[in-house]
């Protein structure tokens, strides 16, 4: 039974999306037709012939009004199914626009298609524009407003759907410009021809011939009564239906609150009690707990995903669509989509993304970003006596020198195939082998160390006129298991690693001061890389935090590392003559 319900909801979402696209295309072609008024009334009429040939044909009529009926019914069903009406500002605005449509659009539809079908009126553009600009000028604002409301509602829906596509970020400015330009052109055509007709209507003979072309049934009174009478009934019916809808939701909520409640526990001791059938995302909204949901709970973006901290065994299994989304983002076991999970018993959950998550967070990413233990090589590098250098220089000179240093170190790491983790003061942390494996990672780390030494020599040459003595650096490299993942907060989030391997690499870098060498590299790095480092001195060192001593190689000059350690893709180094600012 539960699986059938899930399948039904999936189809409802697909049909709702398809019907919305049909209506959007209809409105877009209607606007294109209006925009021909920039040319002339005749151009508008020529475009109208094509427009009605499509949308007033039997297939077009069934498609249009079928899509309209399905879209309204499915939208109401979606609102009914929600246990909470709390939603994002964008979703709320879209709902408000949708609810205003029955109060703005019916007169226009009834005066054109309705009057044509019932009274046989020739609802040409001349008929429509004269009705608005001459006979019923009060509608000059109402008609464009109604069309803009429908267009805005559709654009928001299209944006919510497309924003999850990787290509959308690049296409967004062009689509946004089109979304603004098309209604603007339509209003220009509508207004330009309308003002011309106001002037022409001063000629009574011309006006009489124009009205005769409409094929009115004698007096226009029956048509006016039909249009406004029916529109008022639609508006009244909408008000009554919405009132009953709200009362029904209140009654359902009251009845559900009398039943056994399910408690969903969140971090920091927060708990929300909900009725059976509510999703975790709805529970978050009812409890006022911020929860990421880029797609609005439609099961598309994965940004609402949660880790089940307790109660996993008694939860209903994930449906096919939910599994596809979780597999797409490489979610590990015990992770579910909050918008799709409807617990049947008490559950403890941990939201995995910040409430400020963006569409990019819902796109497929490497599995290591989720957090995994991997065998990698870690490199630390640090400038020696840079504090002494900075004390004797102007702030501008210090920043200039540091930026040149960071650039050289970054290019060395990336050129070797590593990941530049972070800059720490005048130090560097880099990871190697996160995706390529331990052996390749160790070779990359040794190659990066050699290139960093070359880059430092190049920097010393650039700054030779401003340095009392050449800049020196210390490098420490170790390899082993580490926990790798994307860690941090908001803009400070990055891929990094934690664990004993990272701490040991940092300790080795510090030891370069004690041994007065440029690099201290654990023997395990050379073994894993398959390179012979025996010509470099070996020491057994005690590393704080480790019970056993560690064998390391002392490297006086990292440029002497074996050629096999160099990056397979050599970097092209551009020698730039830089004239450093003179100290005052």
Q: Is the pLDDT of residue 187 over 50?
A: yes
End-to-end CA distance of the chain: 81
Q: Is the pLDDT of residue 507 over 90?
A: yes
What's 424-485 look like in SS3?
ECCEEEEEECCCCCHHHHHHHHHHHHHHHHHHHHHHHHHCCCCCCCCCEEEEEEEEEEEEEE
The arithmetic mean of pLDDT across residues 78-99, rounded, is 86
Nearest-10 Cα torsion for 103, 106, 111, 117 = -160
Q: For residue 364, what pLDDT is reported?
A: 67
Tens of pLDDT along 208-265?
Answer: 999 999 988 878 888 889 999 999 999 999 999 999 999 998 898 888 777 778 899 9
Helices (H), 258-337: 280-286, 320-328
Q: Is the pLDDT of residue 569 over 60?
A: no
Q: For residue 582, what pLDDT is reported?
A: 38
Domains of the chain: 2-252 (no CATH), 262-362 (3.10.20.30), 368-565 (3.30.70.1230)
Q: Tell me if residue 383 falls in helix, strand or coil.
A: strand
Q: Is the pLDDT of residue 205 over 50?
A: yes
337: β partners: 305
Cα–Cα distance between 522 and 551 in angstroms, integer? 6
Q: For residue 564, what pLDDT is reported?
A: 56
What percent helix, strand, coil does the chain show, rounded to 5?
Answer: 55, 15, 30
**pLDDT level of residue 571 (50, 70, 90 thresholds):** very low
**pLDDT level of residue 356 (50, 70, 90 thresholds):** confident
17 Cβ partners below 8 Å, 6+ apart?
Answer: 161
Instruction: Write out the two tokens for 178.
Output: 């089109």
Tens of pLDDT along 7-28?
Answer: 666 777 888 889 999 999 999 9
Question: Higher-confidence residue: 296 or 74?
Answer: 74
DSSP 318: P
The arithmetic mean of pLDDT across residues 554-571, rounded, is 70
Q: For residue 8, what pLDDT is reported?
A: 65
**pLDDT level of residue 577 (50, 70, 90 thresholds):** very low
Evaluate the CA torsion angle 253, 257, 262, 265 in order and state its sign. Answer: positive
Q: Nearest Cα to 499, choosing from 486, 511, 481, 487?
A: 481
């Amino acid at each position: 039974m539960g699986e059938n319900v899930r399948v039904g909801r999936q189809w409802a979402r697909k049909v709702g999306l398809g019907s919305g696209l049909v209506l959007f295309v209809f409105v877009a072609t209607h606007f294109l037709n209006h925009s021909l008024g920039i040319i002339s009334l005749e151009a508008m009429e020529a475009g109208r012939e094509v427009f009605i040939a499509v949308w007033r044909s039997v297939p077009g009529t069934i498609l249009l009004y079928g899509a309209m009926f399905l879209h309204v019914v499915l939208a109401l069903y979606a609102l009914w199914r929600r246990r909470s009406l709390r939603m994002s500002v964008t979703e709320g605005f879209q709902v408000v626009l949708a609810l205003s449509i029955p109060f703005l659009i019916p007169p226009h539809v009834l005066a054109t298609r309705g009057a044509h079908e019932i009274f046989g009126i020739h609802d040409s553009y001349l008929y429509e524009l004269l009705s608005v600009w001459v006979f019923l000028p009060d509608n000059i604002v109402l008609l464009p407003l109604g069309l803009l409301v429908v267009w805005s509602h559709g654009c928001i829906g299209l944006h919510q759907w497309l924003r999850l596509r990787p290509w959308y970020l690049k296409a967004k400015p062009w689509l946004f410009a089109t979304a603004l330009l098309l209604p603007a052109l339509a209003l220009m055509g509508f207004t330009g021809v309308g003002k011309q007709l106001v002037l022409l209507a001063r000629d009574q003979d011309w006006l009489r011939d124009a009205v005769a072309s409409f094929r009115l049934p004698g007096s226009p009174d029956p048509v006016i009564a039909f249009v406004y009478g029916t529109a008022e009934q639609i508006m009244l019916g909408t008000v009554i239906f919405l009132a009953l809808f709200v009362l029904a939701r209140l009654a359902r909520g009251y009845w559900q609150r009398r039943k056994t409640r399910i408690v969903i526990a969140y971090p920091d001791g927060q708990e929300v009690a909900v009725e059976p059938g509510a999703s975790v995302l709805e529970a978050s909204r009812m409890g006022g707990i911020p929860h990421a949901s880029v797609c609005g709970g439609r099961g598309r973006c994965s940004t609402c995903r949660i880790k089940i901290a307790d109660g996993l065994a008694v939860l209903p299994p994930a449906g096919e669509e939910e599994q596809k989304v979780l597999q797409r983002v490489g979610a590990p076991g015990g992770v579910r989509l909050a918008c799709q999970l409807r617990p049947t018993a008490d559950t403890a959950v941990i939201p995995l993304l910040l409430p400020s998550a963006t569409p990019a967070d819902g796109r497929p990413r490497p599995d290591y970003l989720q957090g995994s233990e991997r065998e990698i090589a870690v490199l630390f590098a640090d400038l020696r006596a840079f504090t002494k250098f900075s004390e004797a220089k102007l702030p501008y000179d210090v920043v200039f020198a540091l930026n040149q240093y960071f650039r050289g170190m970054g290019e060395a790491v990336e050129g070797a195939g590593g990941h530049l983790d972070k800059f720490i003061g005048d130090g560097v942390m880099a990871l190697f082998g996160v995706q390529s494996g331990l052996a390749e990672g160790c070779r990359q780390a040794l190659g990066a160390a050699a290139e960093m030494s070359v880059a430092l020599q190049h920097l010393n040459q650039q700054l030779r006129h401003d340095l009392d003595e050449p800049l020196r650096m210390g490098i420490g490299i170790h390899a082993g298991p580490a926990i790798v993942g994307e860690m941090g907060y908001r803009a400070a989030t990055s891929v990094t690693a934690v664990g004993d391997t990272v701490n040991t690499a940092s300790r080795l870098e510090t030891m370069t001061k004690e041994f007065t060498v440029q690099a201290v590299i654990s023997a395990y790095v050379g073994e894993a890389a398959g390179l012979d480092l025996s010509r470099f001195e070996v020491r057994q060192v005690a590393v704080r935090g480790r019970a056993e001593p560690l064998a390391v190689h002392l490297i006086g000059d990292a440029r002497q590392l074996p050629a096999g350690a160099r990056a397979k893709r050599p970097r092209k180094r551009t020698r730039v003559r830089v004239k450093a600012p003179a100290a005052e």
